[in-house]
Amino acid sequence: MEKGTWEVKAGLAQMLKGGVIMDVVSAEQAKIAEDAGACSVMALERVPSDIRVAGGVARMADPERILSIMECVTIPVMAKCRIGHLVEAQVLESLGVDYVDESEVLTPADESNHIWKHGFKVPFVCGCRDLGEALRRIAEGAAMMRTKGEAGTGNIVEAVRHMRAVMSEVRKVQYMAEDELQAEAKALGASLEVLRQVKVLGRLPVVNFAAGGVATPADAALMMQLGADGVFVGSGVFKASNPERVAKAIVKAVTHYQDPAIIAEASKGLGDAMPGIDVRTLKQEQLLAVRGW
């Protein structure tokens, strides 16, 4: 009997497919998310839009808060650590969280190195903007990916840009000859071995969710149609005027992402979505997706 293997790490992400992972900051919110049909929750100190407002250094959440969330739901609980902060990751592993998100939403602890994730029993999810970034994280041991988008904006444009980039590069790689793969691995800054897997599978070798800017059921279905295996919703649920209804509607839109009539029905009378931000008005230092490499 072997624990903490690659198969069980990547396998848990496969069980989350077709689902919605919601950011929560309290046990009450976690319960609302679970009852609405979330397949997992991300336990946080603040949702990303509040992190933007608060400023300063954003760190791993208080273990007490994470544990209180783990106690009140039976779906898997994820939590974020700073990029490169291997001790925050060790702490989260010791708490027994089901997935660690090495996340650009928190202030990076290391601007050169990401965590060597193969050394952990707990699986990791990481963000990416393109195929090269995804493959670097997978080579370090990320068992699940998510496109970064621009968290806390309620604006889907960056999530679309990143998912489009990953998917079109995957399509391109599928038709490459072996000699071209060598050059492509160099150009992408990616491991040739993982790139070969992409060619054979015709997709990333791990589950890839969309994140960063999903605010409506139609946003969620859009990301699914572009090739996401599932969706993270950060501020989009609990910054909406009616979180419970929005949460249920987004779950519905992800299951039935190819059925516009059901998405239309789910989108009716949801109240105000979270107030959004035009990403072009953000200054360079306010962008989260550029953190990490």
Partner 1 sequence: MAKIGVLALQGDFAEHIAVLHRLATDCREVRLPGHLEGLDGLIIPGGESTTIARLLDVYDIREPLKRKVREGMSVWGTCAGMILLARKLVEDRPQPMELMDIEVQRNAYGRQVDSFEADIPIAALGVAPFHCIFIRAPKIKHLGPGVEVLGKLTEGGVVAIQQGKLLATAFHPELTEDTRFHEYFLSIVAGQSHDPYPGPD
- What lies within 8 Å, CB to CB, of 38 at 6+ separation is 19, 20, 21, 22, 75, 247, 251
Closer CB to partner 1, 35 or 193, in the complex: 35
CB of 209 to partner 1, least distance (A): 13
Measure the CA–CA gap between 220 and 20, rounded to whole angstroms. Answer: 9
Residue 275: what are its φ and ψ, rounded to 5°? Answer: -65, 135
Task: Select which of 3, 17, 31, 80 is catalytic.
Answer: 80
Which string of x and - marks every residue 54-93 that binds partner 1 (by CB under 8 A)?
--------------------xxx----------------x
Site size for partner 1 (CB under 8 A): 37
Check residue 34 for interaction with partner 1 (CB under 8 A).
Answer: yes
- Contact in structure between 42 and 33 (CB atoms under 8 Å): no
Q: Is 153 helix (H, G, I), strand (E, B) or coil?
A: coil
Check residue 113 for interaction with partner 1 (CB under 8 A).
Answer: no
Taking contact as CB under 8 A, which single stretch among the options 116-124, 179-187, 268-276, 284-292 is the one that binds partner 1? 116-124
CB of 31 to partner 1, least distance (A): 11
Check residue 141 for interaction with partner 1 (CB under 8 A).
Answer: no
Closer CB to partner 1, 188 or 247, in the complex: 247
Taking contact as CB under 8 A, which single stretch among the options 4-12, 192-200, 220-228, 277-285 is the one that binds partner 1? 4-12
Check residue 38 for interaction with partner 1 (CB under 8 A).
Answer: yes
- What is the side-by-side strand order in the sheet with 99-103? 207-209, 144-147, 124-128, 99-103, 77-82, 40-43, 20-24, 231-233
Check residue 99 for interaction with partner 1 (CB under 8 A).
Answer: yes
Check residue 268 for interaction with partner 1 (CB under 8 A).
Answer: no
Q: How far apart are the first and last CA of the chain?
A: 36
Establish whether 80 is a catalytic residue.
yes
Residue 176: what are its φ and ψ, rounded to 5°? Answer: -85, 145
- What lies within 8 Å, CB to CB, of 198 at 6+ separation is 131, 135, 170, 173, 174, 204, 205
Q: Is 92 helix (H, G, I), strand (E, B) or coil?
A: helix
Check residue 196 for interaction with partner 1 (CB under 8 A).
Answer: no
Measure the CA–CA gap between 185 and 183, rounded to whole angstroms. Answer: 5
Among 68, 90, 98, 265, binds partner 1 (CB under 8 A): 98
Check residue 15 for interaction with partner 1 (CB under 8 A).
Answer: yes
The amino acid at 124:
F
Q: Which residues are catalytic?
A: 80
Q: Which positions lie near partner 1, rule CB under 8 A? A: 1-5, 7-8, 11-12, 14-19, 34-35, 37-40, 74-76, 93, 96-99, 121-123, 251-252, 255-256, 259
